[in-house]
Chain A
């Protein structure tokens, strides 16, 4: 399948009073046409920074793309001017954020907010845009769109607002949709509805989706491929089946073990010991080594390269080096893996 987006060796730093925070340290991935790529990883691992960099929405004052390329349609997005970028945002690439309660402008009607990208990117007349906004509201499942279109965000519930945000994001049939934890702020039933809706819409307009989440259960549900991020790097990437059936990186094992399962009552919930690396002074070796019970001498000295597991499955851990001792994932992980696939 054709790649619609390629991120190559991306390095991003923030300049803070304390010094340079190396938030992203050599991220590589590609997004294929029509697929859903999930990015998982604990808080601070760099998921949002990576996707905001694609949209060029990082704070202009203190962030810097030190190195790397973001190739979309043959263009390197990191080199475009603001004006060129404005033509891509909301048209070719759009984004949904975490908190629907604050993502909409409180003093603008919902209709106007949906019409805005249509008028801007597709040169629609007001009447045509308003007609299309009605359709979009219907599409995302908002009842009585004729009435709702004239209302303000405070008249909508959280789930309804997130539907509106999705309608805005999909207005111009984008080629890429980036969803940064779009359901985290919603309750479980609404979450399921929103995910269902996104899958549904993806089928209709054939968008590629980058889906950021903490929730591995959601990943198993919506994604084709998964990238696991840790300390500003992608440490494992593969299809959902590969990463969930055959995880290679000890951090992925930790993530899977720490995930609550349906019958979690008897089991103690696992928590990965230790804290994420301090990106002000990234360690010399593998950033996960201090938290890793399988760590070897080399882990403290040199960062592991990406080892190939299969054509689609890669992991950055020295355990995959031919000379490394054979280590099996813990039993808890194995039982979890089976449950996942059962639940899917």
Chain B
């Protein structure tokens, strides 16, 4: 297992390196400069600016420098925010986004999985229909609509929770609920289908033939098997949640990543764009690893083949 992990981590770094390189060259290809807004600057001034950021050097030199810095954890300095280091900028904003994402993920999956199980066990009853309704709602209605509704009714009207800002746990509750609607919908639908599938399988019939009760069949035999495919969906879902939801962050005035990323793209702030891309990529590969480890925990068939490597 240790050897397997080491190998996986090595590959993770390789993947990140390739992604960093691709991002770098893409930045070189796309039109526009960070100084576009200052287009009226005299050429001489522009040259001075470019020299300051190292943009006057040949591309291979820039690339080597960029990778060199990257290896030391230096993501460069932002063009737009008064030359603040990109890493400082990002990490300050990463916290809220990650916390929100993680909370929404955990809460959403637990609720969704439970809903899916009940729907499958009580197929074609009102329980099933209500779960389906919630799932369709969660998938069809964008999360910022929920965010707006929650903010208006629960925070403004009822005053149960704060309306805006990011100052403590109670500030996170409404945005978490708004963000968790989607994972609830996805995992409920997924879980229902899988559970029904598993409940129709031969080993469930054998479990019944052994005299297992309804409850034992659902929990001891079906649940774990039905969870296996869900793990695959959860990875990408977790990433999209943790990397920040622009609109929800905006609605609740949360200083998160999503907002910053979009701003940097509009002003061609190369270092911030690249930094964020690399951060997202890093999150992605880490989550893929976590998903694979989770797979191994849930599914013995994978655990052993992984362990032998």
**Contact partners of B211 in chain A: CB under 8 A:** 86-91, 117, 120-121
Most chain B Cβ neighbours within 10 Å, of A82, A102, A107:
A107
CB proximity of A239 to chain B, nearest CB, Å: 29
13 CB contacts below 8 A, A to B, read A83-B213, A87-B211, A90-B212, A97-B202, A102-B201, A102-B202, A106-B203, A106-B225, A106-B299, A120-B212, A152-B304, A165-B206, A169-B209
Residue of B nearest to A117 (CB): B210
The digit string for A120-155, where 1 denotes a CB below 8 A from any CB of B, is 110000000000000000000000000000001011
**Contact partners of A106 in chain B: CB under 8 A:** 203, 225, 299-301
The digit string for A151-170, where 1 denotes a CB below 8 A from any CB of B, is 01011000000000100110
The digit string for B268-303, where 1 denotes a CB below 8 A from any CB of A, is 000000000000000000000000000000111100
The digit string for B18-53, where 1 denotes a CB below 8 A from any CB of A, is 000000000000000000000000000000000000
Instruction: Give Cα A153 to B205, complex, Å.
Output: 16
Q: Is the CB of A104 within 8 A of B206?
A: yes
Q: Which residues of A contact B (CB under 8 A)?
A: 55, 57, 82-83, 86-91, 94-95, 97, 99, 102-109, 116-117, 120-121, 152, 154-155, 165, 168-169
Residue of A nearest to B210 (CB): A90
Q: Is the CB of B210 within 8 A of A57?
A: no
Residue of B nearest to A121 (CB): B211
**Contact partners of B92 in chain A: CB under 8 A:** none
**Contact partners of A86 in chain B: CB under 8 A:** 211-213
Q: Is the CB of B301 within 8 A of A103?
A: no
CB proximity of A64 to chain B, nearest CB, Å: 18
Interface majority SS (helix, strand, loop, mixed), chain B: helix
Q: Is the CB of A97 within 8 A of B301?
A: no
Scan residues 211-233 of chain B and give those whose CB is less than 8 A from a CB of chain A. Answer: 211-214, 220-221, 224-225, 228
Residue of A nearest to B227 (CB): A107
Q: Is the CB of A107 within 8 A of B300?
A: yes
**Contact partners of A95 in chain B: CB under 8 A:** 206, 209
CB proximity of B117 to chain A, nearest CB, Å: 16
**Contact partners of B208 in chain A: CB under 8 A:** 57, 89
- Selected from B206, B220, B304, the residue in CB contact (under 8 A) with A97 is B206
CB proximity of B249 to chain A, nearest CB, Å: 39
Instruction: Give Cα A334 to B125, complex, Å.
Output: 58
Confirm or deny: B154 has a beta carbon within 8 angstroms of a beta carbon on chain A. Answer: no
**Contact partners of B205 in chain A: CB under 8 A:** 57, 97, 103
User: Knowing that A90-B212, A94-B210, A99-B202 are A-B contacts, what are 10 other residue pairs whose CB atoms are under 8 Å apart, sorted by A's residue number?
Assistant: A57-B205, A87-B211, A89-B208, A90-B209, A102-B201, A104-B203, A106-B299, A106-B300, A121-B211, A152-B301
**Contact partners of A57 in chain B: CB under 8 A:** 205, 208-209
Instruction: Give Cα A120 to B213, complex, Å.
Output: 10
Instruction: Give Cα A106 to B198, complex, Å.
Output: 11
Confirm or deny: B207 has a beta carbon within 8 angstroms of a beta carbon on chain A. Answer: yes
Residue of B nearest to A165 (CB): B206
CB proximity of B268 to chain A, nearest CB, Å: 51
CB proximity of A133 to chain B, nearest CB, Å: 13
**Contact partners of A97 in chain B: CB under 8 A:** 202, 205-206, 209
- Selected from A82, A83, A105, the residue in CB contact (under 8 A) with B203 is A105
Q: Is the CB of A107 within 8 A of B299?
A: yes
Given contacts A88-B211, A121-B211, contact A154 B301 (CB under 8 A): yes
Residue of B nearest to A116 (CB): B210
Instruction: Give Cα A97 to B206, complex, Å.
Output: 8
Scan residues 186-203 of chain B and give those whose CB is less than 8 A from a CB of chain A. Answer: 201-203
Instruction: Give Cα A102 to B208, complex, Å.
Output: 14
**Contact partners of A152 in chain B: CB under 8 A:** 300-301, 304
- Selected from B203, B214, B298, the residue in CB contact (under 8 A) with A102 is B203
Instruction: Give Cα A165 to B304, complex, Å.
Output: 23
Q: Is the CB of A107 within 8 A of B206?
A: no
Instruction: Give Cα A94 to B299, complex, Å.
Output: 28
Residue of A nearest to B200 (CB): A59
- Selected from B210, B224, B301, B304, the residue in CB contact (under 8 A) with A168 is B210
Given contacts A86-B212, A117-B211, A120-B211, contact A108 B206 (CB under 8 A): no
**Contact partners of B212 in chain A: CB under 8 A:** 86, 90, 116, 120
Instruction: Give Cα A109 to B303, complex, Å.
Output: 13
CB proximity of B145 to chain A, nearest CB, Å: 38
Residue of A nearest to B300 (CB): A152
